[in-house]
Amino acid sequence: MKLQCDKADTLKLFASVFLFALAIGVVGFFATPDAGAISYNNFVRMVNNDRQIGNPDAAVTIIEYSDFQCPWCGKFEENDLPRIIHYYVKTGKVFIQFRDFPLTLMHKYAFKSAEYADCAALQGKYMTVRSLLYKYQNDWSVIGDLYYFLKTHAKGAINFKKEEACVQSGLVKRLIKSNMSSGTAAKVNGTPTFFIYRGFTLYKKITGYRPFPVINKILQGALQ
């Protein structure tokens, strides 16, 4: 009888461990949703939530339209954005939102790179992939193999099965085209383009690259 009880207890223990491990696996799998399992509106909401930095209640908001293959966008990303983040975003003064505006007639892989960046937002990794795309712009721009590029440079940072499923879902294409349409309606005709709002009022539109001292002066004026 004792042997049967011990065996039963052991089986119960194994069953408990198995169910616990299964539960952890399920939670891990669904922590970052598959694009095919969510609606377009929810997809947009989730991507936009990750394509922004800072305090949404900040006095000044910057909306940037950019192209991942644009050299001037890359220069802004590498040289000037870190300083804006340091002096304005981290201090709660400025809120930044990023939008896609791939110049498809000039840059062959701009649209595809935007797809991978936006899909990374579902995993909370938009800024990670964004930074990689700009930092190594000259590398992936040659052949445009974004999947291989990210497998090499973002290994361990994102789930590539979910990333590829998102790209193939079509939701991200729809979002990028919507960004392009809104940019065109706002007379965006080059990248980068910045819309600087003081509250809900447009304070300044900047078309093209401007070094930090210029943007710094504009932001100081917007905050007065």
Q: Return phi, psi of residue 204, to 5°.
A: -160, 140
35-223 in CATH: which number? 3.40.30.10
Q: How far is CA 201 from CA 48, 147, 198, 220, in A?
A: 21, 40, 5, 16
Q: Is 94 left (phi over 0), alpha (psi -120 to 50) or beta?
A: beta
Concatenated DSSP letters of 134-196? HHTHHHHHHH--HHHHHHHHSTTTS-HHHHHHHHHHSHHHHHHHHHHHHHHHTT--SSSEEEE
Please give the Cα distance from 173 to 112 (Å, whole number). 9
In the prediction, which pLDDT does 32 show? Answer: 55
Among 194, 198, 75, CA closest to 134:
75
- Helix-, strand-, coil-residue percentages of the chain, each rounded to 5: 60, 15, 25
Asked if residue 198 lies in contact with residue 94, where contact means CB atoms within 8 angstroms, the answer is no
The tokens for 69 are 């293959």
Q: Domain limits of the chain?
A: 1-31, 35-223
- Measured over the CA atoms of residue 145, residue 147, residue 151 and residue 155, the dihedral's sign is positive
Per-residue pLDDT of the chain (224 residues; tens, 9 = 90+): 433 334 344 334 334 433 333 333 333 333 456 776 789 999 999 999 999 999 999 999 999 999 999 999 999 999 999 999 999 999 999 999 999 999 999 999 999 999 999 999 999 999 999 999 999 999 999 989 999 999 999 988 999 999 999 999 999 999 999 999 999 999 999 999 999 999 999 999 999 999 999 999 999 999 99
How crowded is the C-beta side of 76, counted as CA atoms within 13 Å?
25
- Give the other-Cβ count within 10 Å of 71's Cβ: 15
Whether this prediction's pTM lies above 0.75 is answered by yes
